[in-house]
Amino acid sequence: MTNLFSTIRNLALIAISAWLLMSCDKEEITPNPDPTPEPTESRWITVAAARMGDNPGDGNGGTLIYAIDSEDARDPSVSVEPFDNGFIVPSNRTARLQASEDGNTIFNISYAGDTGGNYSKYNVEGGQNFEQTGSEVSIAPYVGSAPRWIKLFDGDQTGAAVYVSTEHEIDDNGTPDDVTDDTYLRTEATMGIVTLDLVNSSIKEFQEHSIPLTAEEEAQGYYISRIDMPVLNAAGDKIYIGARLSKVDPETAERDNDYEILGSKTIVLDYPSLLNPSIITSSVGHGNTNGYRSINAFLYDGSVYQANQSDPEGSHILKIDSDNQYDDSYDFNLDEALGVEGAYILAWRPAANGKAVLAYRHDGSEEGVAGAQGFFALVDLEARTAELIDEIPYDPDFYLFQYQGFAVYENEIFVTQAPVGENGNIYVINTNTGEVTRGAELVNVEGSHFIGTF
């Protein structure tokens, strides 16, 4: 009996010892894993390139796009070759592009030609891979085949396109071809605006309005000749549309090119109805507010900040407050801020912190293959300061007039710099610190240029 008990006890001890050894071995070969590293966030950066048509820098040979990861965009060892490998965006001339806020979608409306006015959108999948999604819709019946349009900042829900047509009014004593003294009355300017559902590819609203100036201004021959760049106010109940003024000689009804530049003007409509047009005028800035290819007005901290062009005192950034009127206490003159003369804002874009990157030229810009072009500056909307970004090289053949897009990722802004027909780089500006990083190489072809990032 004693021997049996001893045997059982010994077997139990052996089993316990084996279990302990196995446990120790298991702990040794399976160490505690390190904490899982957080994934690196990134964003697509879509580079847009405009091929030459007949003349260097005209961009009329079509538009190509190519997408790279934002980390690759920061890497100068990466090369981007959209002219050889890019996706051809449908458009007879330079396409009018917009991007979703996260960079994952590209919106396009073809400009001119048989497909002019056709809206389409694409999922960004990297490289030359852009997958068309949703249906197409034409806005040509509303605003023509060469529309001026923009994406409203409402969560990628809505686009807005505009046009204006003009007609000189002549009294019964004459005709536009046979004008005598006192026959010119005024110029009728008629605007149209259409809003587009970007999600469901459908027309939301369309309205036409007469947009007269004051009786005194019209008697002098002034009229609104071009409109562009709609933007929503903070309340989402008004839409602002930039305007350019032209003038005729009321004695002859012929174009007048030497005239006093009036205060900058903006058309205001109710939104989303697009009714009840009115015009507001700045007493700080003078010149046009319609911009050209790039978005010209942005919402920041409850107000809309709007660039003007062709201001005799140099371009300003103007402010429209929540009362839907210009804030004439906000005086931000680029000539004074940059210490130049004749500053002209070509394109600009703020980040969420109120710091912006601004493309401009001035009277000291050299004449290049596509005219006098320019520079980039870092702007602070609140402090009303602007500083040349001299880390981005200046070249007289660097063409910025057709610049369309600035990709914004958090507080970084991505821009392209390459002279017409020459290679260049992406540059990344940290708007918090002012640090500038030279990124991926942009490979160009003869006569062509880059028109921005999206």
Which DSSP string do the residues of 196-265 spell out, in sequence order? EETTTTEEEEEEEEE----HHHHHTTEEEEEEEEEEE-TTSSEEEEEEEEEEEETTTTEE--S-PPPEEE
Q: Which is more confidently placed, 210 or 94?
A: 210
Q: Which is more confidently placed, 363 or 179?
A: 363
Quick one: average pLDDT of 249-275? Answer: 96
Examine the pLDDT at 6 and tell me if it is beyond 50.
Answer: no
What would the pLDDT profile of 149-170 be if each residue is shown by its tens digit?
A: 999 999 999 999 999 999 999 9
pLDDT cut 90: percent of the chain above it: 83
Quick one: average pLDDT of 47-69? Answer: 95
What would the pLDDT profile of 124-151 be if each residue is shown by its tens digit?
A: 999 999 999 999 999 999 999 998 999 9
Confidence class for position 114, pLDDT limits 50, 70, 90? confident
Quick one: average pLDDT of 244-266? Answer: 96
For residues 394 and 202, what is the distance between their CA atoms, to the nearest angstrom?
43
Torsion on CA atoms 197, 200, 203, 205, rounded to nearest 10: -50
For residues 193 and 211, what is the distance between their CA atoms, to the nearest angstrom?
12
Contact 78, 423 (CB under 8 A): no
Cα of 318 vs its chain's centroid, Å: 17
Q: Give pLDDT, residue 173.
A: 63
For residues 6 and 209, what is the distance between their CA atoms, to the nearest angstrom?
107
Cα of 148 vs its chain's centroid, Å: 13
Confidence class for position 113, pLDDT limits 50, 70, 90? confident
Beta strand spans in 90-220 (E): 96-99, 105-109, 118-124, 130-138, 148-151, 158-170, 184-197, 202-210
Examine the pLDDT at 33 and tell me if it is beyond 80.
Answer: no
Interacting residues of 24 by C-beta distance below 8 A, sequence separation 6+? none
Helices H / strands E in the chain, number of each: 6, 32
Quick one: average pLDDT of 257-272? Answer: 97
For residues 63 and 82, what is the distance between their CA atoms, to the nearest angstrom?
9
For residues 293 and 169, what is the distance between their CA atoms, to the nearest angstrom?
31
Q: Give pLDDT, residue 178.
A: 54
Examine the pLDDT at 10 and tell me if it is beyond 90.
Answer: no
Supply the mean pLDDT for the chain.
90
What would the pLDDT profile of 291-349 be if each residue is shown by its tens digit?
A: 998 999 999 999 999 999 999 999 999 999 999 999 999 999 999 999 999 999 999 99
Beta strand spans in 221-372 (E): 222-232, 238-249, 254-255, 263-270, 278-286, 297-300, 303-307, 316-320, 332-333, 344-350, 355-361, 367-368, 371-372
Quick one: average pLDDT of 56-75? Answer: 96
Quick one: average pLDDT of 45-56? Answer: 96
Task: Report strand pairing: 148-151 vs 158-170.
Answer: antiparallel
Cα of 28 vs its chain's centroid, Å: 58
Q: Give pLDDT, residue 19.
A: 40
Domains, the chain, in order of start with CATH, read 41-453 (2.130.10)
User: Which residues are paired to 452 by β-bridges?
Assistant: 48, 405
Confidence class for position 16, pLDDT limits 50, 70, 90? very low
